[in-house]
Structure 1
Amino acid sequence: MKAVVKRISIEKNKRIIAISDIHGNLSLFKRLLKKIGYTKDDVLILVGDLIEKGDMSLKTLRYIMELSKTKEVYVVSGNCDTLWEDIKSEVDDENLLRYMIFRKNSILNEMCKELSIEVNEKSNIKFIKEQIRRNFSDELNWLEQLPHIIETEKFIFVHAGITSDNLEEQNVSEVIKNDAFMERGLAFLKYVIVGHWPTANYGREKGCCNPIIDKEQKIISIDGGNMIKSEGQLNALIIKDDENITFDSIDDFLTDEIIEYQHSNSNTIQISWMDNAVQVLKEEKEFSLCRHISSNHELWIKNDKIFKTKDGVCCYDCTDYFLSVKKGDIVSIIEKSSSQTIVKKDGIIGWVLNEKLKSGRTGKTEKA
């Protein structure tokens, strides 16, 4: 099926705010809008995946529906926003029920909760679908009418990516789910702004959750990994004109203060789920020395990040990069160990020795 393209004209000198992958995290979305000073004079473009994974998908959807009635708000559909298809169709009911049981934080489960319908292995999925269709027609219809691509005079907004500048020939399946879009070697006439793929996934030596602007390809990737990555954040791309593009971000982490300088290290690696096979070389109480199979790189990995599969041993997202920090820096605390802490500073993920942190002496961290 061909993607639906919506073309809009934006009044000159208006600020464009682009946010992707809210994933039902309504509180963070509201905090981000407040942080960037969002007003009725701005144009807000939401680049898909409004729902799923967070615990307030239904409230998030309704909030955005109401916001679009009074402000200039445009939304494109992401792959997580297409659940209306499963509810309106009469096929694949067993897989839909399995999805609802697996994905506890789903808008479908929230709808059932609002209707006092219990969801379990014995649930009548046809009855559930009928009740959702009957009671949530406004929400389902709103999601169904979303375009897949929005084009302005200077920008293209699409959830996951496009295959060429010919927008009329894009297929829905490719524009809502196009993994590692920036690595496909494509270049475009207008800037293409996408979400879907957390920007930290592009890191090889270290991960960073900030938007990536590639001026040669004319691609801007803005998914900060909110609700997907343990270190994720929600990003807002702020466009004043095509020469003035900045961003702001927000997360839910506690913060800590650096009390002593730390150098960064070299020859490091950022491992993400696409290439996470490892071999355990030496196991100790809290960390194990491992070899990353594809790169042959050796690093110490926290034991709770290592797991076995039918094909071998793998690890969750991890790194051996130590951040460069100076006294007075404020960092977000991701996860502590006995000797070092994984933190985020200005969107960059890395380790800091506990002795460099104020909490290493006081034992206290603060909310950002």
Structure 2
Amino acid sequence: MSQRIFAIGDIHGGLKALQQILKKAAITPNDLLIFLGDYVDGWSDSAHVVSYLIELEKNQPCVFIRGNHDDLVHQWLITQEMNNQWLQHGGESTIKSYAELSEKEINTHIAFYERMKNYYILNEEILFLHAGFTNMHGPYNEYEAYMCYWDRTLWETALSLDPNLPQDHIYYPKRLKLFKEIYIGHTPVTRINKEKPHQAANVINVDTGAAFKGKLSMIEINTKEVYQSEPVYQIYKDEKGRN
């Protein structure tokens, strides 16, 4: 594939970090950007991230995957209902950021959330989604669509798999045989003491903990070249984020 294709990890309101990595990679309109979800809940620019992405796609090929935090914010924008767990995991900063937007802008955001994809398949062999899937026949057969942006078992399975186990072995996970590569976010690799996107089996996790003490990352899927921001908490020095 001659076109550069980037998978971008969880942004969590870190607009300045996103701008850093796009600049580092010298993004052009010929590149395809696949965002793996969780644009909001964390740093103070959550609503501004969404506004930026809406403008970006006018001149840039983009795919926007739905993350669990995006779904939570979408539901809040529609119902105004809040729960303490969401507030404690970044929701409070998102509410503050949306107070700066007009009703017209908010309606544009709601439309953006509604058209996000639960997953994206490239060339019938590379899967992009926020979290994972549980159905052995693929994400398109999930009984509940939310599994695509909440599941952690796919990543846990890949991490725990014996790297010497051949794919034709009876114990080899069927889910991992469906695609050549699977790109996810959702579970920061900083939890396993990694600072860059990490691969386990054929699953490549691009969430490098931007919501916490980590950096925002993106990876070019052909060359596997990684671009990273500064640690996001250092960019937003006066904020707590989700730390």
TM category (shorter chain) comes to 0.7 to 0.9
| Equivalent position amino acid for 2:38 in 1 | D
Of residues 107, 110, 119 in structure 2, which corresponds to 1:149? 119
Query: In the aligned structure 1, how far is the partner of 2:16 from the partner of 2:133?
Result: 31
The residue aligned with 2:83 is 95
Task: Please point out which of 248, 252, 255 is paired with 2:227.
Answer: 248
- Secondary structure class of the residue paired with 2:58: helix
The residue aligned with 1:213 is 199
For 2:67, the equivalent position in structure 1 comes to 78
Letter in 1 for 2:128: F
Q: What is the identity, as a one-letter code, of the residue corresponding to 1:159?
A: H
Which of 34, 39, 47 is the equivalent residue of 1:45? 34
Alignment partner of 2:141 out of 159, 162, 169: 169
Give aligned pairs, total.
213
In structure 2, the gaps of 5 or more residues are: 159-172, 235-243
Deviations 1:80-117 (A, max 9, x none): 11122233248xx36379839984311x32222446xx
The answer for the alignment partner of 2:221 in structure 1 is 239
Q: CA RMSD for the aligned pairs?
A: 2.7
1:20 and 1:50 in contact (8 A); partners too: no
Distance 1:101 1:238 in 2: 29
| Higher Rg of the two aligned structures | 1
- CA displacement at 1:77 relative to structure 2: 0.4
What do the CA deviations read for 1:147-188 (whole angstroms, capped 9, x no partner)?
100011131000001223423212322111123632225423
Quick check: 1:22–1:49 contact (8 Å CA) kept in 2?
Answer: yes
Distance 1:174 1:253, change over 3 A: closer
The correspondence for 2:209, drawn from 217, 225, 232, is 225
Equivalent position SS for 1:29: helix
Where in structure 2 are the equivalents of 1:254-333 lying within 5 Å? none
Query: 1:183/1:86 Cα in 2 relative to 1: closer, same or farther (>3 Å)?
Result: same
Partner AA of 1:160 in structure 2: A
Normalised by the size of structure 1, how large is the TM-score?
0.53
Secondary structure of the residue that 2:57 maps to in structure 1?
helix
- Cα pair 2:10 2:210 within 8 Å, conserved: yes
Distance 1:150 1:199, change over 3 A: same
Match of 1:136 among 81, 106, 109: 106
SS in structure 2 opposite 1:251? strand
TM normalised by structure 2 equals 0.78
SS at match of 1:61: helix
1:26 — aligned with what?
15
Structure 1 residue runs without a partner (length 5+):
1-11, 116-131, 256-368
Q: Indicate the residue corresponding to 2:162 in structure 1.
A: none
Q: State the Cα deviation string for residues 221-246 of structure 1 (Å, max 9, x = none).
A: 11000022x2x011111122xxx323
Percent identity over the alignment is: 21
* AA matched with 1:110: S
- CA distance in 2 between counterparts of 1:44 and 1:85 reads 25
Partners of 1:46 and 1:74 within 8 A in 2: yes
In terms of fraction of residues, the more strand-rich structure is 1
Mapped partners of 1:251, 1:16: distance in 2: 22
Q: Is the 8 A contact 2:129 2:148 kept in 1?
A: yes
Does the C-alpha gap of structure 1 residues 26 and 94 become closer, same or farther in structure 2, counting only changes over 3 Å? closer
